[in-house]
C-alpha cells in the first residue's frame, strides 16, 4: 500500500472520529490511523487478550492507556487502573465502574483481590455473558512490579511464598485472561526476572514509540528489523500485530474528554 504522511493529531473532539470510535464492535478499540489510511485497532477477542505499550519517557503511553481503557469502558467494561505516580490517571477516580489505586499497598491489595475475581470467573465455566470485561491498566508497570516485590519482602513470613501474591495474580490474569474476560494493558517492557512466565507472545498487540533497536528486537522480532524513526511526534507509534508493523497516529483523548464521554455520552462536546 502507498504510504502518506501521518496526520499531526487525531483528536477525539473530531465528530467523524468520535462516530468511528463509537461504531467499533464490542471488545474492539481504535488505536489510530496508519500511514496507509487504515484504522488500526485492538481486538480483545483476537489472538491474545492483552496489549503491551512500551515507550521512552514522554512517548505517550499514558495517553494510550487512557484512550484504550476509556473505549472499553464505553462498551460496558469495568477497569482496574494502577497508577503508581498517583496523578497520571486522575480521570479514573471520577467513574463508578473504575477502581483507581496509586499507593503501593492499595495496588498490592487490588491485585490480590483480582486473583479472587479471576478464580470466581473461571468457576463460571464459560458462562460469562452477563459478566463485564475487566480491563487491568498498569501505568509504569516495571516500576510498579519492582515496588510490589519490595513491598512483599517487608512483611513476608518464613512460610509465605517468595513471589509477591500481587505479582502472581497478575501472571495468572495474563495466562487465563481470555477465559475470564480479564484483559491487561501493560505499560512497560516485561522483565523475565519479575514476570517469570509472562512471555511477550501473551501480547498480540504491541504498541511502541521512541524505542531502541534492542527493545524492538525483544518485543517485535517477527516484524523485521527496527524501522527508522521520524522526528519524535506526539502520538506517533508503531503498532505490531500478526508480525506486521504499522506506523500509526494515535487518537488523543484528554482526561476531560473521557470523563464527559463516559458520564454524559450525549454531550456533543465530549
Q: Which residues pair with 207 in a beta bridge?
A: 53, 239
**Cα 95 from Cα 258, distance rounded (Å):** 10
**Cα 64 from Cα 46, distance rounded (Å):** 19
**Cα 175 from Cα 1, distance rounded (Å):** 35
Distances (CA, A) of 252 to 3, 20, 62, 182: 22, 14, 11, 25
Coil, strand, or helix at residue 178? helix
Question: How confident is the model at residue 76, as a pLDDT?
Answer: 96
Provide the residue-wise pLDDT of the chain in tens; the chain has 270 residues: 556 655 667 999 999 999 999 999 999 999 999 999 999 999 999 877 999 999 988 889 999 999 999 999 999 999 999 999 998 999 999 899 999 999 999 999 999 999 999 999 999 998 999 999 999 999 999 999 999 999 999 999 999 999 999 999 999 999 999 999 999 999 998 877 667 655 567 898 999 999 999 999 989 999 999 998 765 677 899 999 999 999 999 999 999 999 999 998 776 655
Question: How confident is the model at residue 268, as a pLDDT?
Answer: 60
Residues with Cβ < 8 Å from 119, sequence gap 6 or more?
none
Q: Is the CB of residue 183 less than 8 Å from the CB of residue 136?
A: yes
Q: How many CA atoms lie within 13 A of 143 on its CB side?
A: 11
Q: How many CA atoms lie within 13 A of 184 on its CB side?
A: 27
**Cα 42 from Cα 133, distance rounded (Å):** 14
- Going by C-alpha positions, the residue among 226, 255, 174, 205 that lies closest to residue 31 is 205
Question: How confident is the model at residue 199, as a pLDDT?
Answer: 56
Q: Is the CB of residue 218 less than 8 Å from the CB of residue 208?
A: no
Question: How confident is the model at residue 102, as a pLDDT?
Answer: 95
- φ, ψ of residue 107 in degrees (nearest 5): -65, -45
Q: Is the CB of residue 204 less than 8 Å from the CB of residue 48?
A: yes
Q: E strand or H helix at 250, and its extent?
A: strand 244-252
Amino acid at each position: 500500500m502507498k504510504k502518506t504522511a501521518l496526520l499531526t493529531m487525531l483528536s477525539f473532539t473530531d465528530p467523524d472520529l468520535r462516530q468511528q470510535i463509537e461504531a467499533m464492535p464490542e471488545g474492539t478499540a481504535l488505536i489510530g490511523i496508519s500511514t496507509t489510511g487504515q484504522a488500526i485497532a485492538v481486538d480483545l477477542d483476537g489472538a491474545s487478550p492483552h496489549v503491551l505499550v512500551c515507550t521512552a519517557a514522554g512517548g505517550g503511553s499514558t495517553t494510550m492507556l487512557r484512550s484504550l481503557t476509556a473505549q472499553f469502558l464505553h462498551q460496558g467494561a469495568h477497569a482496574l487502573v494502577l497508577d503508581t505516580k498517583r496523578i497520571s490517571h486522575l480521570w479514573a477516580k471520577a467513574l463508578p465502574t473504575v477502581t483507581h489505586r496509586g499507593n503501593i499497598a492499595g495496588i498490592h491489595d487490588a491485585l490480590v483481590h483480582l486473583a479472587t475475581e479471576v478464580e470466581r470467573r473461571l468457576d463460571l465455566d464459560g458462562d460469562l455473558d452477563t459478566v463485564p470485561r475487566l480491563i487491568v491498566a498498569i501505568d509504569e508497570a516495571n516500576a510498579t512490579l519492582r515496588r510490589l516485590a519490595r513491598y512483599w519482602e517487608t512483611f513476608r513470613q518464613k512460610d509465605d511464598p517468595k513471589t509477591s501474591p500481587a505479582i502472581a495474580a497478575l501472571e495468572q490474569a495474563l495466562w487465563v485472561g481470555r477465559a475470564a474476560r480479564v484483559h491487561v494493558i501493560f505499560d512497560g517492557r516485561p522483565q523475565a526476572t519479575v514476570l517469570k512466565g509472562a512471555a511477550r507472545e501473551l501480547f498480540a498487540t504491541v504498541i511502541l514509540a521512541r524505542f531502541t533497536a534492542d527493545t524492538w528486537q525483544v518485543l517485535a522480532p517477527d516484524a523485521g528489523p527496527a524501522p527508522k524513526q521520524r522526528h519524535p511526534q506526539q502520538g506517533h507509534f508503531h503498532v505490531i500485530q500478526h508480525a506486521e508493523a504499522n506506523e500509526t497516529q494515535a487518537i488523543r483523548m484528554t482526561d476531560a474528554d473521557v470523563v464527559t464521554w463516559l458520564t454524559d455520552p450525549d454531550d456533543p462536546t465530549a
